[in-house]
Amino acid sequence: MEHAQLSISEQCRILGIHRSGLYYTPKGESALNLRLMTLIDKEFFDKPFYGVRKMTHHLRHFGYHVNQKRVRRLYRLMDLRVIYAKKNTSKANRGHKKYPYLLRGLKIERVNQVWATDITWIPMQRGFMYLIAIIDLHSRYVVYWSISNSMDAEWCTEVLEEAIRTHGTPEVFNTDQGSQFTSILFTNALKKHEIKISMDGKGRAIDNVFIERLWRSLKYEYVYLNPANGGVELYKGVQKYFEFYNDERIHQNLNYKTPKDSVENLLTLNHLVFLDKIRTHGKDALIESLRSAHDSILYGSKVEITEFKDVLFDLKQLGDWLERI
């Protein structure tokens, strides 16, 4: 995609794809391994406590003559972690700092209070890819996502930065203890934006239950039903599903509303609040404050304006809206 005038980022923006997922060549595996990985994935959703030994017996029950060495390799390839703690099984980097779990007992009551992320394996007709998603825990809104054929810290950090650029800054960011998320590159990006870092306890699947539910919904409602034939087809399919998930799929825990409904309710409330502030302080002064806050967020500075604490939408866009009224 070499171009004399357009950068890689600009080309991706025009084409409507993520720069971090520019290379959509799937990772290759044999047809048998892909079948085994799909069976493992489905069983692991229901029994996340199944280690290599039990999963090996499960596959043998279906007539697959596999050994534990093969299943262990597939577990590692799929980045699966059994929920119970077990000595010397963690693949986290020992040189990376681990952070405490901050969500225990925390009442999550507003948008942009807590975001969470994770990586999952996505099967395809030939090969597989990795998917990362960031969700807002209050609204269940998928803030940002990306597809890649590798799962490194650079990819995860780029997705984080893009999520912050487009949706603002959360107060707390929760991950598991995977080496991508404990890396200095990723944690420094969080610290730069003064975001509190929270990490799941080792072997505790319940700590990241919301994003695990997202993976289950995505795979059972789209991926398993429509295995993609190539990376670009997978990208378009996941994009369509997440649009459905955010805009149309109702959630029982949201009183049968969609994530978008929760976000739009917040926007309506904040518009009314800002209208009241216009009457108090004057429109021009408020617009100038919004522009300044937008630029500060865009360039990584901390904004100490409590009125904007819970605002999800882009501040410059709100300034444009104020100028029209």
Instruction: Report the C-alpha gap between 216 and 254 in whole angstroms.
Output: 18
Q: What is the pLDDT of residue 293?
A: 52
Is the CB of residue 180 less than 8 Å from the CB of residue 156?
yes
pLDDT one-digit tens code per residue, 90-123: 355 566 788 999 998 899 988 889 999 999 989 8
Query: What mean pLDDT is predicted for residues 236-254?
Result: 87
Neighbour count for residue 26 (Cβ, 10 Å): 20
Domain boundaries, the chain: 1-249, 259-324
Instruction: Report the C-alpha gap between 130 and 245 in whole angstroms.
Output: 19
Q: How confident is the model at residue 229 (pLDDT cuts 50, 70, 90)?
A: confident
pLDDT one-digit tens code per residue, 153-171: 999 999 999 999 888 899 9
pLDDT one-digit tens code per residue, 52-83: 999 999 999 889 999 999 999 999 888 887 76
Is the CB of residue 200 less than 8 Å from the CB of residue 176?
yes
Burial 240-260 (b: 16+ CB within 10 A, else e): ebbeebbeebebeeeeebbbb
Q: What is the pLDDT of residue 209?
A: 81
Q: How confident is the model at residue 212 (pLDDT cuts 50, 70, 90)?
A: confident
pLDDT one-digit tens code per residue, 167-203: 889 999 999 888 899 999 999 999 999 999 999 875 4
pLDDT one-digit tens code per residue, 28-45: 678 899 889 989 988 887
pLDDT one-digit tens code per residue, 2-29: 445 555 555 555 555 555 444 555 666 7
Top pLDDT among 96 and 226 is at 226
Q: What is the pLDDT of residue 102?
A: 92
Sign of the dihedral through C-alpha 186, 131, 262, 278:
positive
**pLDDT surpassing 60 at residue 206:** no
Top pLDDT among 310 and 21 is at 21
- Domain 1-249, CATH number (from 3.40.50.80, 3.30.420.10, 3.40.190.100, 3.20.20.370): 3.30.420.10
Instruction: Report the C-alpha gap between 294 and 168 in whole angstroms.
Output: 9
